[in-house]
Structure 1
Amino acid sequence: MNQLAIAARRVLSIDVFRGITIFTMVFVNELAGVQNVPGWMKHLAADVDGMTFVDLVFPAFLFIVGMSVPFATAARLKKGEDLRQIFGHVLIRSLSLIIIGVFMVNTIGGYDESAMVLPIHLWVLLMYAAVLLIWCHYPKHWPRAATLAPKLVGATLLLVLWYLYRGNSGQGMTTQWWGILGLIGWAYLMACIVYLLALKVSHAYGHLAFLLLAAAALLGLFFAFDSLQADSGSALAVLIENNRNNTHAAIVLAGCALSTVFYNDTLAGNKARNATLFVALSGVLALLCWQVSPISKIWATPSWGLFSVFFCSLIFAVTYYWVDVRGHTRWCQFFAPAAANPLLVYIIPYILIAAFGLAGLSYRPQLFDAGAAGIAWSLAFSVVIMWIGALVSKMGVKLKL
């Protein structure tokens, strides 16, 4: 097991990459509501063979989740936890992401406000209040009862909101899709199962090979399920419907592999060589896969997944060189709050929009609904969200799953 050693620590270049990704995610989410902007600043349609930088944001987050897994696992092993305890933590964290993701999806569409007891904006604000109560990081010196009480209040509030929700057809909440956080939750769970199994391989190179082969196998599963048909409601139909989870988990595993290549004591001898090989290999595989699989973020095709791995590994390699090798770190402070508190920064825009909606106000003036003005607004909006995230973090509010 010592050949698999990765020090339990924070890595500045990974934090910076995470912070940049969160900032970009806030920017593109806001830009999605702006008209008359260049096509390369929007998601491409599912049937268009290609991707924009916008289509790279979500897989970048998956990739960073994967890069963090070896360090988080090392930290828990250092505390004396066994693999079963670590898996229990992974399971709770995954379920938390899935629950929040499903609730968020149902706030975006599919609801019938006229049939609900509460206005949808108030429902949304209460939902995020419950999320904060349940998953907020409370001071360690607080007694157990003081931390358990708000969590129970939050869980009760979520159940009440679930009961009060009404959909367009009179139904309650549904998994219209898992939402961004839900998809991350499923991919994280699948990849962590593989990573924990890979720890059984005692040799560093065998461990790395296990991760890479598992990622390839998941992409192979995508092709296998994509060619199948099944009766609606059957177990096979469910697997086919959630086929994109295989690609998402493969991206997470690629992130695990890159951290292993960079920071494993046995493998991390020549980082420049390792980074070059990893980037080049992922690029070649992406080009080869593109010959048989169109690029589509919506469908989560293997070629999109491999190109995402290529670009993410390239971006991280450049970030690592600039930050960790050259020591240019002053600019990193802007991204620090999002890196340390990413989930909170991610949900702040939704909280603000719901608050403005409840007050009957439009948070974005009509002047900024289109064109260059809309792009400038989206950029400024993202900066403000980062500042708010920094302020709230300094106040001690932190979401920790």
Structure 2
Amino acid sequence: MGQLNIAAKRVLSIDVFRGITILTMVFVNELAGIANVPGWMKHLAADVDGMTFVDLVFPAFLFIVGMSIPFASAARLKKGDDLRQLLFHVLIRSLSLIIIGVFMVNTIAGFDEQAMLIPMDLWTLLMYGAVLLVWCQYPRGWSKVASNIPKIIGGALLVLLWFLYEGNQNQGMTTQWWGILGLIGWAYLLASIVYLFALTITNAVSHILFLIVAALGFLGLFFLLDGVQEFQGSALQLLVNNNNNHTHAAIVLAGVTLSTLFYNEVLAASLKRNALLFIVASGALAFACWQVSPISKIWATPSWGLFSIFFCALIFTATYYIVDIKHYTRWCQFFAPAAANPLLVYLIPYVLIAAVGLAGVSYRPAFFDSGLAGIVWAAVFSIAIMWIGAFVSKMGVKLKL
């Protein structure tokens, strides 16, 4: 099994791209609750043929997940892991994301607070506390027993909260749409399985071609199968159509491909040509696909996936040029905590909102609920979250799946 000459290291341009994406994600999540803002600052409706920058945030995160896969795999191979151990690690990380995603989505909708023994805000806070206990990275000096005790407590608390949850119509917790983290988990799982097979191909060019064909297959195959009668009602259709995991996995694989094109020692010799070809090809495919498939983030259509890949490749290439070629790096320090601890920074707003809600007050003054004041609030809020994330990270709190 080849490592394809990719070093097991952190890459600043990828970290910066990740940090920018996290900042934008916090900003647009906050902006979603503010009225009277321009349409281009909101998600477009599912039946509108188009996308805004907001519709690019989630696929950008998927793309970054893909860009990190070759480096994470190289690191584990360097430690001596084999294919089976790599797959087991992928399964654990995917399952972790799916579990957290399902718990999160059930705090947003589907609950019957009147039927619950504790307030929903308290349930939410306890849930995030349990997540911290289970997935926190404990000091290396701790013994295995000392590290496992809080994980066991956190796991037991999640089980208890699962029993305490009361949903609408006497239902308990449901998967609903898996939540953002759950969707990332499914996409990461599917794409990683493809990548692990690709690791057996030691020729760099053949490896890249395999990843591209796999990504296009995810984008196109299920889209075509949707009209096949035998496909209807199957378990595969439920996995595909309910959450559009095939399109999301394709975006992850596109990130894997671009990362390999940029950082593989063999392919890096033709970096400028390869990057240009990737950008031009993804853009051309996006426009061609748009003629038969409308752009819709909610429906995760192939054209939306291809346009997302095109814009992500363009943004990352610009970031790479600024950071790795021109070495303008001082401004990157602001994004470092979010890049190193993205899951924690993503969760912090939800923890704060639940804590303030439990206290019986609104975390956002009414003056900032609309218009320009709301946009300013969302910008300041997102920057504040980045600072809080940096402070908490310096305190040694880090989530690691």
TM-score (ref. length: structure 2): 0.98
Runs of 4+ with >6 A deviation? 230-233
Aligned residues: 401
> Is residue 177–residue 243 contact of structure 2 (8 Å, CA) maintained in 1?
no
Q: Is the 8 A contact 1:17 1:316 kept in 2?
A: yes
* Worse-matched range after superposition: 359-368 or 275-284: 275-284
Residue equivalent to 2:214: 214
Aligned residues of 1:225 and 1:239 also touching (Cα < 8 A): no
Kindly indicate whether residue 238 of structure 2 is the aligned counterpart of residue 238 of structure 1: yes
Q: Which residue of 1 aligns with 2:259?
A: 259
Contact 2:2 2:200 in 1 (8 A): no
SS at match of 2:180: helix
Deviation digits for residues 281-332 of structure 1 (CA, Å, limit 9, x no counterpart): 1100101111110000000000000000000000000000001100100100
Distance in 2 separating the partners of 1:150 and 1:396? 16
Structure 1 counterpart SS, 2:142: coil
CA separation of 1:297/1:107 partners in 2, compared to 1, >3 Å: closer, same or farther?
A: same
The match for 1:101 is 101
Q: How far does the alpha carbon of each residue in 1:240-297 deviate from its partner, in whole angstroms, 9 at most, with x for none?
A: 5336100000000000000110011111113222211111111001011111100000
Distance 2:240 2:269 in 1: 41
How far apart, in 1, do the equivalents of 2:19 and 2:124 lie? 25
What residue number does 1:155 align with?
A: 155
CA distance in 2, matches of 1:102, 1:389: 23
Aligned to 1:48: 48
Partner of 1:351: 351
> Cα distance, 1:230 vs. partner?
7.2
Tell me, yes or no, if structure 1 residue 369 matches structure 2 residue 385. Answer: no
Tell me the residue number matched to 1:204.
204
In the alignment, the residues of structure 2 paired with residue 8 and residue 236 of structure 1 have an alpha-carbon distance, to the nearest angstrom, of 35
What does residue 113 of structure 1 align with? Answer: 113
Q: Which residue of 2 aligns with 1:387?
A: 387
1:146 aligns with 2:146: yes
2:261–2:267 Cα contact (<8 Å) kept = yes
CA contact 1:3–1:203 (8 Å) conserved in 2: no
Q: CA deviation at 1:239?
A: 3.4
CA offset at residue 344 of structure 1? 0.1
Aligned equivalents of 1:359, 1:397: Cα separation in 2: 24
Structure-1 residue corresponding to 2:340: 340
Correspondence for 1:17:
17
Change (3 A) 1:231 1:255: closer
**Residue type of the partner of 2:202?**
S
Name 1:282's counterpart in structure 2: 282
Residue matched to 1:400: 400
8 Å contact from structure 2 (residues 225, 231) kept in 1: no
Q: Distance in 2 between matches of 1:288 and 1:97?
A: 34
Contact 1:3 1:266 in 2 (8 A): no
State the alpha-carbon separation in 1 of the partners of residues 218 and 64 from structure 2.
18
Unaligned runs of 5+ residues in structure 1 are none
Structure 1 counterpart of 2:186: 186
TM alignment of 1:253-332, pairs within 5 A: 253-332=253-332
Look up the equivalent residue of 1:279 and give its one-letter code.
I
Matched residue of 2:318: which SS?
A: helix
- The whole-number CA distance in structure 1 between the counterparts of 2:197 and 2:119 is 47
Gaps of 5+ in 2: none
